[in-house]
Structure 1
Amino acid sequence: MPTILRFIAPASALLALAPAMAAEPDARNLPLWEAGIGAAVFNTPAYPGASDRSNRNLVLPFLLYRGKVLRADQQGIGARLLDTDKVEFDVGLAGALPSRSDDVEARRGMPDLGTLVEFGPRVKYKFADLGGAGRLRFELPVRAVIEARGGLRRQGWTTEPRFVWEHRGDAGRWTMEAQVGAVFGDRRIHGYFYDVAPQYATADRPAYRADSGLMLVRTGFGGTLRVNPDVRVFAFVRLDSYAGNANRDSPLFRKDTGASAGVGFAWTLARSSKRAND
């Protein structure tokens, strides 16, 4: 999953719900492309360490493309430049919808959190095949973050090293995925969430300048179930710990933990006759 999208309130929206889903069945045996419509309900913290929460109901079209190099699937949008039995390397793109600061008590009167786009490389190392018990891999994405709000502005970078367990069962009818990892960022992306410029300071919200470092530690679980050839349902739960956050002293930091959850479905309306492994 794209890193930023995993903790901003309207997470996963622009990828038509796909990042919230667990790994899909073996893509080599699936259609080269699928198109349809998806819907989901998400409940997440407004931002890492926020006491306010965000609810979002989404109905969006989606397009999945499983090319040998270019791909748009549950893992994101990008170009897979290397794929071996052990190592995969890709360059990905993802995005997240904006969030209004006036809906968050701690940020009231401050600039909104705009639409964010992430771009950068990711390495996957598949280090264990457990047979009937699934597979284990390590992922290391590094993403540049760009905000689109009245123009384009770079908002720093993040990285999210994580361990992932995935399991597929019943000929791909269902999938499960669990992960544990941590999100780190530079001063700029921390400042995006935790800076309080002097002009926005109040008696209860003193001016603050953020530092770089750890943002959160995360564990999560998700799964999908294919109801029929055209309909798949999915759900996920996630728990983030901000106890080690580099900016716990920020007046915008309000909680040490945050839970997220979502449910939804994807309905395929059209697909190619050509398979991804052709």
Structure 2
Amino acid sequence: MNSMNRAGRALLVATTLVALAAAVPALAAEPARSGPPLWELGGAVFGVSQQAYPGADEHLNRALVLPYFIYRGRVLRADRETAGLRAFKTERYELDVGVAGSFGGGDDEIKARQGMRELGTLVELGPRLKIRLGEGGGHAGSWRLDLPVRGVFDLNDSGRHRGMAFEPELLFQRQAKGGWRYSTGLSAIVADRRLAEHFYGVSALDARPGRAAYAAQSGLVAWRLSVSATRALGRDWRIFGFARLDSVAGAANEASPLVRQTTGSTVGLGLTYTWMRSEASAHD
């Protein structure tokens, strides 16, 4: 990862932790009968092999060791899915502020972008409506529809706004009898023209043989299928893994010269340790 200012590094730590937890829905789950604790303090170590961007034919490999802090208040929350505030929650609906993120890389790592501006580490932040669609008893699992709208910011460029993204996602979550918790999701990523240009636009100055100038357009960026799983290893340790498959088939910018293949994958594996936790239970 390229160098960034101190504020950018601090923000990256916080947002990466929340984004990681969002990718692994049961990461911070506590098996105590009274429910998860109000707060937890611990650390996480994980490695990720990420497709550079949807349509890229190269991967970015990252390994991180980070502290994490989780707080599950009634309104103020920083947990596996929420970053900041939960505006309201009913039996069926919930509105909160969600976060996601992706690592960036320079033209030395992404050959298709040689000579072009680097793709910075991006953080997505914005409101999200969650709709519970149904829940079975025991280990049957539950269905949910997420409707997030997020602003996208580039940590490698002083937090510059790169555009807006909308990613409706249908989720299925289940806790298996063997102690495993897992989730699967199917989503569509839609971007405005500004964000699409960041990924797929090629200016006249950046054009070269095999990479013609291209003006990106708003619309579908990719279809995404994701899976994740986590399991407690005793009281304080937890292992987790996640994978996703992105496809740009039928996407608005499938014709961009920066699109080198139709499908691509991202995988990650990690371990968390909870150092301290509160005696009080969380507010749900």
Cα–Cα, structure 1 residues 96 and 180, in superposed 2: closer, same or farther, change >3 Å? closer
Cα–Cα, structure 1 residues 81 and 160, in superposed 2: closer, same or farther, change >3 Å? same
**Per-residue deviation, residues 172-215 of structure 1 (Å, max 9, x unmatched):** x4311111111111111110000111111111211111011101
**Per-residue deviation, residues 9-48 of structure 1 (Å, max 9, x unmatched):** xxx7343732331335479711111111101111121111
Q: Which residue number corresponds to residue 16 of structure 2? A: 13
Q: Which residue number corresponds to residue 7 of structure 1? A: none
AA aligned to 1:163 is L
Q: Which residue number corresponds to residue 3 of structure 1? A: none
Select 2:164's aligned residue among 152, 157, 164: 157
Cα–Cα, structure 1 residues 83 and 26, in superposed 2: closer, same or farther, change >3 Å? farther
AA aligned to 2:136 is L
CA RMSD of aligned residues (A): 2.1
Q: Which residue number corresponds to residue 259 of structure 1? A: 265
Separation in 1, partners of 2:30, 2:86: 16
**Per-residue deviation, residues 25-75 of structure 1 (Å, max 9, x unmatched):** 479711111111101111121111000111111111111111111111111
Cα–Cα, structure 1 residues 98 and 259, in superposed 2: closer, same or farther, change >3 Å? closer
**Per-residue deviation, residues 73-93 of structure 1 (Å, max 9, x unmatched):** 111412111111100111234
Separation in 1, partners of 2:82, 2:126: 12
Cα–Cα, structure 1 residues 235 and 148, in superposed 2: closer, same or farther, change >3 Å? closer
Deviation, 1:94, is: 4.5
Q: Which residue number corresponds to residue 196 of structure 2? A: 190
**Per-residue deviation, residues 118-172 of structure 1 (Å, max 9, x unmatched):** 221100110111223111111100001122334342211111111101112459x
Separation in 1, partners of 2:219, 2:163: 12
Could you state the TM-score of these two structures normalised by the residue count of structure 1?
0.89
Q: Which residue number corresponds to residue 282 of structure 2? A: 276
Q: Which secondary structure state, in structure 1, belongs to the residue aligned with residue 108 of structure 2?
A: helix
AA aligned to 2:23 is A
Deviation, 1:98, is: 3.4
Paired residues of 1:18 and 1:76 also in contact (CA < 8 A): no
Separation in 2, partners of 1:76, 1:109: 37
Paired residues of 1:17 and 1:39 also in contact (CA < 8 A): no
Cα–Cα, structure 1 residues 225 and 30, in superposed 2: closer, same or farther, change >3 Å? same
Q: Which secondary structure state, in structure 2, belongs to the residue aligned with residue 101 of structure 1?
A: coil
Q: Which residue number corresponds to residue 9 of structure 2? A: none
Separation in 2, partners of 1:107, 1:264: 30
Could you state the TM-score of these two structures normalised by the residue count of structure 2?
0.87
Separation in 2, partners of 1:151, 1:228: 41
Paired residues of 1:163 and 1:180 also in contact (CA < 8 A): yes
Moved more, 228-237 or 74-83: 74-83
Separation in 2, partners of 1:120, 1:41: 26
AA aligned to 2:70 is L
Identical amino acids, percent of aligned pairs: 42
Residue-pair matches, total: 266
Show structure 1 runs of 5+ residues with no match.
1-11
Q: Which residue number corresponds to residue 97 of structure 2? A: 91
Separation in 2, partners of 1:116, 1:259: 18
Paired residues of 1:119 and 1:143 also in contact (CA < 8 A): yes
AA aligned to 1:195 is G
